[in-house]
Amino acid sequence: MSTAEIITVIDAVFDTVDAKKFDQTEALFTENVWVDFTSLNGGEPATLTRTQLVDAWRQGLHPKKQSFHMVGHYRIAVDGDTASAAVKGYAYNVLDADLGGGMWEVWGTYDIPLHRTADGWKASGITFHAWHSRGADSVRTHVLSQ
């Protein structure tokens, strides 16, 4: 088994989010997903359905907010049909000018557990450990009015 398959899944998560191809993003996760973004948002980690997770990203990374995610320095451990990946990450968000513009960026690490399924490797969780951020937090939290 090549770790390249796992790297491809992880890269696809961030690439499809940035391209706003959220249906493709959803297909990269198991049905239930352990989610921990408490280093950014506070609160508590939770188990969500993949639809709930991706719907939150649809709302937070709406069409008038551009995002760019970059991950690298992969550290992958495989044990049979489970794997864990730790990666360094960077994210950049910018609002369209008609919403006032502004940017926000963050550096940190992601922990991503994965499971091998009949359809290939799927992420079963995502934890982000923020190290440093800068810019307008209002850009990160901006959602479009309903």
Q: Where are the domains of the chain?
A: 3-141
Helices and strands: H and E segment counts in the chain? 5, 6
Does pLDDT of 2 surpass 90? no
Mean pLDDT score, 20-31: 98
Which pTM was predicted? 0.95
pLDDT of 86-140, one tens digit each? 999 999 999 999 999 999 999 999 999 999 999 999 999 999 999 999 999 999 9
pLDDT digits (tens, 9 = 90+) for 50-93: 999 999 999 999 999 999 999 999 999 999 999 999 999 999 99
Q: Which of 141, 140, 112 is nearest to 127 (CA)?
A: 112
3-state secondary structure of 2: coil
The matching CATH number, chosen from 3.10.450.50, 3.30.750.200, 3.30.70.100, 2.30.42.10, for 3-141 is: 3.10.450.50
CA distances from 91 to 8, 39, 58, 140 (A): 18, 14, 16, 10
Contact 85, 112 (CB under 8 A): yes
